[in-house]
Amino acid sequence: MAGNAQAQQSQANNASTYSYLGLGTPQDFLSPQGAGMSLIGVAVPDRSKGNLSNPAMWGTSYFTTIMGAIDLETYNASNDAGSASSTNFGFSKFQVQLPVFRERLGVSASLFQETNVRYSLLTANEITLPTADSLSTVNYQSAVAGTGGINRLEVGFGLRLTSNLYVGYAPSLMFGVREEDSQLVFSNTLFGPARYVERTRYRGFAHRFGLMAISSGLFRDNDQITIGATASLPVELNANRKITSRVILNQALNDLELVPEDNFGDRKVTYPFETTVGISYFPSRYTLVGAEFHYQQWSEHNSFSGNTDRFMADRMRVGLGFEYDAYSRGNTGLFNSLIYRLGASYDDGHLNINNTDIETIMFTTGLGIPSRAVGSTIDVSFDYGVRGTRSNDLVRERIFALRLSLNLSEMMFLQRRVN
């Protein structure tokens, strides 16, 4: 792994150190319910709130909903050289979902993160350079900070084919910028500091499909089982890169273009195929148990240079979650007005460095806070996880995340009406 954990001290707003590689750290769709159960939520339908996890669920739409989410994440990274902490706070998704024909055809428009790049690395090196009359070994420090990632602007629809079968389709524009700012500071005063920025733009069209089936009365009269699945086709992203330098001209800081985009030409970067399959069992209307399997084919990812990066690996994530809905029972009291969630997941990661998978184990608790008066909900979840290892010169990260989703329904704005 390039750099060490101490490198994160040079930038306050960092995400995972491992976002240094590839297109950044993958960000899963995580529906408001699923986030509290360590699930993406492809088999957890809820017609009262927005859901990005499975386009087929939009066919269950009953109310017009608006959903927005923000995340607060803290990373405590450590290796044999030391430790450091960093915090990342920001918007993660926004969606508007509305029924065209209630509980039969629904549409969605959304904007959300696909990958996140936010890191800083600090390394000490030496180089042999010519001085006045000889060659000298000069020590220097290299500080590298990266920001950006890939986003999706998506529209789509969900359709009920039969009383218990739903399908969905969502085309999208994938776009983003990855910017890497490098600074070199030399110990010898004969050499001034150097700074350059490598900026890569990405854009391409993506296609996502969803399927959901619901069956009741499997083991008892009022139980229900839901099976959901999604698939996203591989995306060929157009990539354009340029390199600029920050220099002082006419007493002002300016960007001087060292290598224009035309010199690199148009490149193709492959974003991989991915699929998620989930199952949820509702023993009653108040409880559910869910399980999921998520797969991304990162071994087929092509970098800007056109090569398949050797450190990329196929990613598999499994999750198990539980929910108890005390709110729907209609009893009074604070504890009876909440929805309780619990879950855990294991992710073998999309990176293999020094013959080691960068694995993540995550534990999650969550609360749903519904409003009886206006039909909105606030969903809060807390994650604690461990990613990576300190073995083989790698970095181990302890992850703490607070995720908050606000879901506003049609009842907030309009009086109830008969459809």
Residue 405 has pLDDT above 50, yes or no: yes
Q: What is the mean pLDDT of residues 221-238?
A: 94
Question: Would you state the structure tokens that stand for residue 327, as one six-digit string?
Answer: 């709110």
Q: CA-CA distances (angstroms) from residue 111 to 117, 129, 172?
A: 17, 49, 9
Q: What is the mean pLDDT of residues 291-295?
A: 97
Q: For residues 103 and 246, which has the higher predicted lDDT (pLDDT)?
A: 103
Residue pair 275/210 in contact (Cβ under 8 Å)? The answer is no
DSSP 334-379: SGGG-EEEEEEEEE--SBEETTEE--EEEEEEEEEEE-TTT--EEE
pLDDT band at 419, cuts 50/70/90?
very low
Query: Distance between CA atoms of 250 and 254, rounded to whole angstroms?
Result: 9
Q: What is the mean pLDDT of residues 24-48?
A: 90
pLDDT digit string, tens, across residues 328-341? 887 777 888 899 99
Q: Which helix (H) or strand (E) holds 262?
A: helix 261-264
Residue 418 has pLDDT above 50, yes or no: no
Query: Distance between CA atoms of 350 and 296, rounded to whole angstroms?
Result: 8
Q: How far apart are the first and last CA of the chain?
A: 58
Question: Would you state the structure tokens that stand for residue 401, as one six-digit string?
Answer: 């995340």
Q: What is the mean pLDDT of residues 21-45?
A: 91
pLDDT digit string, tens, across residues 257-278? 889 999 998 899 999 999 999 9
pLDDT band at 134, cuts 50/70/90?
confident
Mean predicted lDDT score pLDDT of the chain? 87
CA dihedral (282, 284, 289, 292) in degrees, to 10, reads: 10
Query: Distance between CA atoms of 386 and 72, rounded to whole angstroms?
Result: 16
pLDDT digit string, tens, across residues 236-257? 999 999 999 877 667 676 778 8
Tell me which of 3.30.300.30, 1.10.540.10, 1.10.150.20, 2.40.160.60 is the CATH number of domain 5-412: 2.40.160.60
- Which residues, in sequence order, are bridge partners of residue 345? 319, 362
C-alpha of 135 from chain center = 48
Query: Distance between CA atoms of 82 and 77, rounded to whole angstroms?
Result: 9
Residue 54 has pLDDT above 90, yes or no: yes
Residue 2 has pLDDT above 50, yes or no: no
C-alpha of 283 from chain center = 31
Q: CA-CA distances (angstroms) from residue 166 to 28, 52, 105, 157, 415?
A: 22, 15, 10, 11, 29
Looking at residue 135, its pLDDT comes to 80
> Which residue, among 202, 203, 199, 201, has the nearest Cα to 180 in the 3D structure?
199
- Range name among 169-178, 188-197, 394-403 with the lowest pLDDT average: 188-197
pLDDT digit string, tens, across residues 317-370? 999 999 999 988 877 778 888 999 999 999 999 999 988 999 999 999 999 998
Looking at residue 248, its pLDDT comes to 65
Largest CA distance in the chain: 91
pLDDT band at 209, cuts 50/70/90?
very high
E strand segments, 187-303: 194-216, 224-232, 235-249, 252-259, 267-271, 274-284, 287-296
